[in-house]
Amino acid sequence: MHKSPLHDIHIEQGAKLIDFAGWHMPVHYRGINEEHVHTRTKCSIFDVSHMGRIRIQGTGAQPFLQHICTRDLDDTQVGQNKYSHICNEQGGVIDDVIVGRYKKHWYVVCNASNRESVLEWMNRHCESHAVKIVDETFETAMLAIQGPKAIGFVEDAFGLDIKSLKRYWALTGSYFGMQYTIARSGYTGEDGVEAIVPASAVGLLVPLLLGGADREDNVCMLAGLAARDTLRLEAGMPLYGHELSLEWDSLTAGQGWCVDLSKDFIGAAALREIKAGQPTQKLVGLELDGKRIAREGYPILKDSRPAGKITSGTMSPTLGKSIAMGFVETEFSEPGTELEIDLGRKTNPARVVPLPFYKRPKSN
């Protein structure tokens, strides 16, 4: 089992640790709901060191990534990151990733559960490209600092101008000798950053950010993977293994915005065909009446007949409603469509609602 470089700090902070994609990671510290609300109102630090971090070097890096990514990367500028899918020849999603361009290299951040398959896929398709693929997952750590107070907090802590950084753009630099990359991105529906720092430095950095025992305002606290999941679900963001998988293509999963069919890439032909034929199913947001939770795999019914399947569900701490995502037959995917969720012993009324469930208030 892999350990995050913050493992000892997690234990010291009272985390409950679980096995997540082969990593011993904190699921929560003080309570999922509390950590969720703290992120929506103040700011939280999430240890996301389990995610894969892959450096792509060499003159062939750009054409290589253009070949395996669904997103058009040719106009990517130095310092810019883009969300993309990596698909197989059938359009099935191997992973969803963040691809960034830096001065002398490119960088790919992938899901922990897919790091090995992404590396294998890259190594299998890089032969005709002059690239060197370096897995930096274990020598680096990654933090997500998220919430309405996150930008000001990070600016104070590092003395950086983050406010003028555009969404998904990144800064690189050195802080007391510690190399960092800070991107204005995240997976919570809040403003915030994701920072990559050396594994050897993160154990000093996090206590510094938390401020130790003498910091009483508690603006910034640690939050675990469970709150990260409920936050991303409210924000309508897909999670690999739930809304994204080899089983569904990027278009059916509602992520057509990150697929550029005017360029050539692995899976493009299949995706063009799917687009021409209209997907038979669609990923939708659902709101349930009452307080029951629709779990992954629960059948979605229309007039008692099978109409789809739940991929994720939770009781939304922000909205106080039972929310879910799932694939339904296209004819039942319009917002307002009344459906039922099969809970096993009984069915529960639900309706299709637009995604996301939660959108952060516009700040100045």
Partner 1 sequence: MSVPNDRKYADSHEWFKLEGDVVTIGITQFAADELTDITYVDLPTVGGKVDAGKELGEIESVKATSELYTVVAGEVVEINEELGDAPELVNDDPFSRGWMVKLKTSDVSPFDKLMDAATYEKHCATQT
Q: What sign has the CA pseudo-torsion 185, 79, 152, 51? A: positive
Q: Which is nearer to partner 1, 163 or 291 (CB)?
A: 291
Q: Which is nearer to partner 1, 16 or 359 (CB)?
A: 16
Considering only the stretches 30-38, 78-86, 214-222, 238-246, report the one whose residues sit in contact with partner 1 under the rule CB under 8 A.
Answer: 30-38
Q: Which is nearer to partner 1, 140 or 348 (CB)?
A: 348
Quickly count: other Cβ atoms within 10 Å of residue 211's Cβ. 14
Which pairing describes strands 105-110 and 93-101: parallel, antiparallel, or unpaired? antiparallel
Q: Which is nearer to partner 1, 33 or 172 (CB)?
A: 33
Instruction: Tell me, residue by residue from 268 to 307, as one string, x for binding to partner 1 by CB under 8 A and - for no binding.
Output: -----------------------xxx-x------------
Q: Does residue 43 bind partner 1 (CB under 8 A)?
A: no
Contact predicate 272/261, CB 8 Å: yes
Q: How far is CA 318 from CA 6, 40, 220, 341, in A?
A: 29, 8, 19, 22
Q: Which is nearer to partner 1, 28 or 232 (CB)?
A: 28
**Nearest approach, Cβ of 33 to partner 1 (angstroms)?**
5
- Of the candidates 8, 12, 16, 204, which one interacts with partner 1 according to CB under 8 A? 16
Q: Which is nearer to partner 1, 132 or 291 (CB)?
A: 291
- Of the candidates 17, 25, 32, 162, which one interacts with partner 1 according to CB under 8 A? 32
**Nearest approach, Cβ of 2 to partner 1 (angstroms)?**
21
In the region spanning residues 87 to 116, those forming contacts with partner 1, defined by CB under 8 A, are none
**Nearest approach, Cβ of 41 to partner 1 (angstroms)?**
17
**Nearest approach, Cβ of 344 to partner 1 (angstroms)?**
8
In the region spanning residues 309 to 328, those forming contacts with partner 1, defined by CB under 8 A, are 314-315
Q: Which is nearer to partner 1, 173 or 297 (CB)?
A: 297
Q: Which is nearer to partner 1, 28 or 149 (CB)?
A: 28
- Of the candidates 7, 10, 28, 115, which one interacts with partner 1 according to CB under 8 A? 28
**Nearest approach, Cβ of 157 to partner 1 (angstroms)?**
29
HEC string of the chain equals CEECCCHHHHHHCCCEEEEECCEEEEEECCCHHHHHHHHHHCEEEEECCCCEEEEEECCCHHHHHHHHECCCCCCCCCCEEEEEEEECCCCEEEEEEEEEECCCEEEEEECHHHHHHHHHHHHHHCCCCCCEEEECCCCEEEEEEECCCHHHHHHHHHCCCCCCCCCCEEEEEEECCEEEEEECCCCCCCCEEEEEEEHHHHHHHHHHHHCCCCCCCCCEEEECHHHHHHHHHHCCCCCECCCECCCCECCCCCCHHHCCCCCCCCCHHHHHHHHHHCCCEEEEEEEECCCCCCCCCCEEEECCEEEEEEEEEEECCCCCCEEEEEEEEHHHCCCCCEEEEECCCCEEEEEEECCCCCCCCCCC
Q: How far is CA 183 from CA 48, 139, 327, in A?
A: 14, 19, 31
- Of the candidates 8, 12, 22, 31, which one interacts with partner 1 according to CB under 8 A? 31
Q: Which is nearer to partner 1, 142 or 294 (CB)?
A: 294
**Nearest approach, Cβ of 209 to partner 1 (angstroms)?**
25
Considering only the stretches 28-36, 158-166, 215-223, 258-266, report the one whose residues sit in contact with partner 1 under the rule CB under 8 A.
Answer: 28-36
Per CB under 8 A, residues contacting partner 1 are 16, 27-28, 31-33, 226, 230, 291-293, 295, 314-315
